[in-house]
């Protein structure tokens, strides 16, 4: 019997970077998913297969995280090992991952993978609540990135829109479905490095940065109201205002600026999503301007249209 679960990726609509300094950020799950299919094996092995590579280890070998060469695989081995231990199971397990979330560009693919793998592995034994799946998947992410906020996994588990800050997460109850065009700059970025650069900027420009945090806080406050009203014109201009602040803290690049300039010609508004320094740009559209914006951005980037995913974690099949 196979146990199958899938979980969505995410984008940050407002508040990246400023969230590190206490401002609320808004993110949403997108309709691009990772699916994990798990089954028992006759041999005592744990085998992980994905489009990005395969890895395996013996069931009895203690989990030595340094020995697993592929960094992104570590949480998956942790999840399988912990679950086998919990249920006192000696059989081997194979997990196969299939993804339609491009990896490594800030769309939450690692967190979605941890959520899907947790649900599918645990699903071999027992169907756990979303809260329990989320807890275990955050635990698994912490073994490679101790400071992970849990925001990506939370929105991936529960779907929809979410506001978060240092004090926690808050579901935004809005069924308005936004359409976003996500354009990949194809510039690689390192979130930690960029967060550190922003800290340096803040330390050199304390007063200016404090003012910017105030402006961002106001943008987010207004965005929460406009999301409920589905006012795309206003939301689009708030997105563009947010981009001005991101540009001021130097997380944009020439390529990102160019994508945003082109996207802004026809969409309601466009900005970086996530850490910046590369990664992706989002533009807000609806049926009136989606095709023109997409066609234009296709000439200069890899891009696709996404909508909000309201389901979060889905169990497709379990024992």
Could you write out the DSSP letters of every residue in the chain?
Answer: --EEEEEEEEEEEE-TTGGGGT--EEEEEEEEEEEEEEEEESSSEEEEEETTEEEEEETTS---GGG---GGGHHHHHHHHHHHHHTT--SEEEEEEEE-SPTTSSS-HHHHHHHHHHHHHHTTT----HHHHHHHHHHHHHTT-TT--SHHHHHHHH-SEEEEETTEEEEE------EEEEEE------HHHHHHHHHHHHHH-HHHHHHHHHHHHHHHHHHHHHHHHT-HHHHHHHHHHHHHHHHHTT---HHHHHHHHHHHHHSSEEEEESS-SSSEEEEEE-TTTHHHHHHHHHTTSEEEEEEB-SS-SEEEE--
| Number of chain positions touching ligand PMV (CB under 6 A) | 12
Candidates 9, 75, 92, 106: give the one binding ligand PMV (CB under 6 A): 106
Should residue 149 be labelled a site residue for ligand PMV when binding is judged by CB under 6 A? yes
CB of 18 to ligand PMV, least distance (A): 8
Should residue 141 be labelled a site residue for ligand PMV when binding is judged by CB under 6 A? no
Interface positions, 185-214, toward ligand PMV (CB under 6 A): 191, 195
- Identity of the residue, 275 or 284, whose beta carbon is nearer to ligand PMV in the bound complex: 275
Candidates 4, 17, 238, 271: give the one binding ligand PMV (CB under 6 A): 17
Should residue 165 be labelled a site residue for ligand PMV when binding is judged by CB under 6 A? no
- Identity of the residue, 81 or 271, whose beta carbon is nearer to ligand PMV in the bound complex: 271
- Identity of the residue, 149 or 267, whose beta carbon is nearer to ligand PMV in the bound complex: 149
Closest residue to ligand PMV, based on beta-carbon distance: 274
Candidates 116, 275, 281, 297: give the one binding ligand PMV (CB under 6 A): 275
Should residue 274 be labelled a site residue for ligand PMV when binding is judged by CB under 6 A? yes
Should residue 219 be labelled a site residue for ligand PMV when binding is judged by CB under 6 A? no
Binding residues vs ligand PMV (CB under 6 A): 12, 16-17, 19-20, 106, 149, 191, 195, 274-275, 279
């Amino acid at each position: 019997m196979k146990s199958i679960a899938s979980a969505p990726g995410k984008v940050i609509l407002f508040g990246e970077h400023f969230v590190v300094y206490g401002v609320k950020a808004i993110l949403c799950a997108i309709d691009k998913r990772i699916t994990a299919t798990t089954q028992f094996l006759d041999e005592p092995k744990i085998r992980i297969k994905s489009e990005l590579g395969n890895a395996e280890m013996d069931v009895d070998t203690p989990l030595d995280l340094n020995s697993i060469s592929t960094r992104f695989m570590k949480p998956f081995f942790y999840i399988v090992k912990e679950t086998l231990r919990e249920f006192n199971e000696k059989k081997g397990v194979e997990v196969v991952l299939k993804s339609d979330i491009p990896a490594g560009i800030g769309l939450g693919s690692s967190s979605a993978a941890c959520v899907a793998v947790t649900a599918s592995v645990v699903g071999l034994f027992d169907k756990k609540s979303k809260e329990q799946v989320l807890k275990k998947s955050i635990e698994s992410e912490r073994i490679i990135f101790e400071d992970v906020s849990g925001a990506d996994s939370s929105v991936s588990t529960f779907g929809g829109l979410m506001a978060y800050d240092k004090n926690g997460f808050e579901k935004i109850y809005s069924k308005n479905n936004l359409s976003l065009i996500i354009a990949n700059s194809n510039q690689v970025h390192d979130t930690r490095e960029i967060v550190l650069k922003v800290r340096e900027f803040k330390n050199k420009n304390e007063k200016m940065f404090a003012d910017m945090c105030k402006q961002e806080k106001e943008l987010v406050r207004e965005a929460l109201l406009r999301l409920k009203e589905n006012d795309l014109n206003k939301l689009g201009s708030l997105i563009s205002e947010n981009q001005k602040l991101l540009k001021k803290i130097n997380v944009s690049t020439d390529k990102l600026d160019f994508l945003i300039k082109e996207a802004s010609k026809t969409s309601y508004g466009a900005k970086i999503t996530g850490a910046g320094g590369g990664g992706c740009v989002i533009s807000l559209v609806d049926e009136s301007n989606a095709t023109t914006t997409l066609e234009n951005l296709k000439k200069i980037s890899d891009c696709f249209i996404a909508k909000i995913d309201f389901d979060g974690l889905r169990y497709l099949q379990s024992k």
